[in-house]
Amino acid sequence: MSESGTNAIVWFRRDLRLSDNPAWAVATGSADEVVPVFVLDDTLLDAAGPFRRAQLLGEVAALDATIREHTGGRLFLRRADPAQVLADLVDDRTVGVFWNDDVAPYATARDARVEAALSCPVQRFWGTLFHRPGSVLTGKGTLSKVFTPFYNRWIVTDVDPWPTPGSASVATGPGESLDALVQAAGPAPLPPGEAGAADRLADWARRADNYLTDRDTPSIEGTSMLSSDLKFGTLSPRHIAQYLGTTTSGREGFVRQLSWRDWWAHTLYEFPALTTASVRPEYDNIAWRYDEADFSAWATGQTGYPIVDAGMRQLAQTGWMHNRVRMITASFLVKDLLIDWRHGERHFRKLLIDADLAQNGGNWQWVAGTGPDAAPYFRIFNPTSQSRKFDPHGAYIRTWVPELSALDSKAIHEPAAAAPLDLAGAGVILGDTYPAPIVDHAFARERTLAAYKAVKES
Ligand SMILES: Cc1cc2nc3c(=O)[nH]c(=O)nc-3n(C[C@H](O)[C@H](O)[C@H](O)COP(=O)(O)OP(=O)(O)OC[C@H]3O[C@@H](n4cnc5c(N)ncnc54)[C@H](O)[C@@H]3O)c2cc1C
């Protein structure tokens, strides 16, 4: 930090970019010098599985590189308590600390603590969302509990203008080095930084027109793969929507998905217990089973249901899973194994690169039928018909469950029902090379209906 002139501190968190970042823009127009800071929080780092950890560290290193390249400054990095780090940086030349807010309860509690520890003004923004919480409301002034009315408002809500950056210089003060951590974590699964994100966005723009026809086919790249960029903030949702526009039905359908992200974020903001309690409280009385062996078979992709196993192995091996398969695997845990959705939510949260408390918690509750706007509980996915419908030739299964790859596209969805000769011809021995189904779907369906019905009626 320079010895003279005013300074503004920007605390980066889930907004790891310089462009289209309101906290950065206002700070660079508020002081002579800006001090960009990232505080590595061991609680969050330890909660991340290997893929998210590597992506996070890669993103932070890339942000530092971008700051060096574009401003000549440096990202000031510390691994400590953020309240302490920021309080130590503030002095009598500091005009304020600037950051973009987050809806997660851990973050809101931490931020309140940080704000209380600071002796200078704090300016907070909502650069991580399209519309800030509380700005998309029904005629009665409440957050809609149903998605479609929320979307209908969301799409016509005026966008809060974001400021353009000022001309402050950027501090070069030394922080800690990330190198050892980055090396230990290995390369980021996705090319990091604003540059990696911009390439993904440009690539997506070439494919986005086909979104509505391709997005439910897990064997092809029919979705944007931008969830990690939204998670870490290497792209702003507004920039994504603006870049793509809504000129075709595919693009319009895609932008609609971005409003789901806002909806879950606004819901978490209003209902901080989204990952710990059912939004519809009666469902917290369901007599869940907890069977360690069943949970472990699900988590490791050994259920005997090929589409479920393919998805769980994709997650374990890459930190990502296709949306359709997230729905199928989540439904299997809750509705076929009758295991409490919170166990699944935690498992996904640990492993997903794009794990986001609001999106993960909201979607798990949606699948479990316990959320604000959930499919009725009696609509239970049949994993085998889902597999036939969305992976008709078994291409996705073949990629992730290679021991079944020699089965034809009829038998691959349900090896347990295949003719013994077909199994033998494909080298599949049920219970040996591939598990027999750990549960019978028809039986499981009745068991789940009874468990849900019992709490509805009580
Ligand atoms: C059980 C379950 C858990 C999930 N957990 C997460 C999570 O932790 N983090 C996460 O970002 N998404 C989560 N999702 C939503 C969705 O699966 C991912 O956003 C999507 O697969 C990411 O791939 P994409 O960027 O290629 O998606 P695209 O189809 O290209 O969608 C673009 C963007 O829209 C948003 N979006 C799309 N679908 C949803 C949705 N159903 N809910 C909220 N936002 C959506 C995401 O930000 C996504 O990046 C979960 C879905 C389910 C069923």
Each residue of 249-305: pLDDT tens digit? Answer: 999 999 999 999 999 999 999 999 999 999 999 999 999 999 999 999 999 999 999
Q: pLDDT digits over 360-388, tens only?
A: 999 999 999 999 986 788 889 999 999 99
C-alpha–C-alpha distance, residues 381 and 74, integer Å: 51
Q: Mean pLDDT throughout 22-30?
A: 98
Predicted local confidence at residue 378, as pLDDT: 83
Predicted local confidence at residue 1, as pLDDT: 62
Q: pLDDT category, 174, cuts 50, 70, 90? A: confident
Q: Which of 363, 364, 370, 373 to mutate to test the pocket of ligand 1 (most atoms within 8 A of CB)?
A: 363
Q: Which of 315, 318, 323 to mutate to test the pocket of ligand 1 (most atoms within 8 A of CB)?
A: 323
Q: Mean pLDDT throughout 42-51?
A: 93
C-alpha–C-alpha distance, residues 30 and 39, integer Å: 22
Q: pLDDT digits over 113-165, tens only?
A: 999 999 999 999 999 999 999 999 999 999 999 999 999 999 999 998 889 99
> Residue 96 forms beta bridges with which residues?
8
C-alpha–C-alpha distance, residues 313 and 298, integer Å: 10
Q: Report CA(156)–ligand 1 centroid distance (Å).
A: 22
C-alpha–C-alpha distance, residues 97 and 99, integer Å: 7
Contact criterion met (CB below 8 Å) for 41 and 1: no
Q: What is the mean pLDDT of the chain?
A: 96
Which atom, in ligand 1's list, is nearest to the CA of 258?
34
Q: Report CA(101)–ligand 1 centroid distance (Å).
A: 20
- Among 290, 300, 327, smallest CA distance to 434 is for 300
Q: Mean pLDDT throughout 424-451?
A: 98
Q: pLDDT category, 173, cuts 50, 70, 90? A: confident
Which atom, in ligand 1's list, is nearest to the CA of 224?
30
Q: pLDDT category, 89, cuts 50, 70, 90? A: very high
- Among 308, 352, 373, 294, smallest CA distance to 55 is for 352
Which atom, in ligand 1's list, is nearest to the CA of 225?
26
Q: Report CA(429)–ligand 1 centroid distance (Å).
A: 36
Q: pLDDT digits over 347-363, tens only?
A: 999 999 999 999 999 99
Contact criterion met (CB below 8 Å) for 107 and 139: no
| CA-to-CA dists, residue 309 to 221, 266, 294, angstroms | 19, 33, 13
Q: Report CA(118)–ligand 1 centroid distance (Å).
A: 36
pTM: 0.97
C-alpha–C-alpha distance, residues 291 and 339, integer Å: 8
Which CATH class for the 7-127 domain?
Answer: alpha beta
C-alpha–C-alpha distance, residues 198 and 181, integer Å: 25
Q: Report CA(226)–ligand 1 centroid distance (Å).
A: 9
Predicted local confidence at residue 2, as pLDDT: 61
Q: Mean pLDDT throughout 12-18?
A: 98
**Local structure of residue 320 (DSSP, 8 states):** -
Which atom, in ligand 1's list, is nearest to the CA of 327?
53
Predicted local confidence at residue 129, as pLDDT: 98
Q: CATH fold of 281-457, please?
A: DNA Cyclobutane Dipyrimidine Photolyase, subunit A; domain 3 (1.10.579)
- Among 252, 331, 259, smallest CA distance to 298 is for 331
Q: Which residue puts its alpha carbon closest to atom 53 of ligand 1?
A: 327
Query: In the chain, where are the structural domains located?
Result: 7-127, 129-159+194-270, 281-457
> Residue 8 forms beta bridges with which residues?
34, 96
Q: Which of 239, 359, 370 to mutate to test the pocket of ligand 1 (most atoms within 8 A of CB)?
A: 359
C-alpha–C-alpha distance, residues 78 and 175, integer Å: 6
Contact criterion met (CB below 8 Å) for 30 and 8: yes
Q: Which of 240, 257, 333 to mutate to test the pocket of ligand 1 (most atoms within 8 A of CB)?
A: 257
Task: Tell me phi and psi for residue 212, to 5 degrees.
Answer: -65, -30
Which residues have CB under 6 Å of ligand 1? 215, 223-227, 230-231, 257-258, 260-261, 264, 323, 326-327, 330, 348, 352, 354-356, 359-360, 363-364, 367
Q: pLDDT digits over 180-230, tens only?
A: 888 999 999 999 999 999 999 999 999 999 999 999 999 999 999 999 999
Task: Tell me phi and psi for residue 201, to 5 degrees.
Answer: -65, -45
Q: pLDDT digits over 67-84, tens only?
A: 999 999 999 999 999 999
> Residue 11 forms beta bridges with which residues?
37
Which atom, in ligand 1's list, is nearest to the CA of 264?
43
Chain centre to alpha carbon of residue 205:
21
> Residue 39 forms beta bridges with which residues?
78
Q: How many helices (H) and strands (E) does the chain have?
A: 21, 6
Q: Report CA(42)–ligand 1 centroid distance (Å).
A: 26
Q: If residue 387 lies in a helix (H) or strand (E), which one and from where to where?
A: helix 383-390
Q: Report CA(162)–ligand 1 centroid distance (Å).
A: 25
Q: Which of the following CATH numbers is that of domain 129-159+194-270: 3.40.50.10540, 1.25.40.80, 1.10.150.120, 3.40.50.150?
A: 1.25.40.80
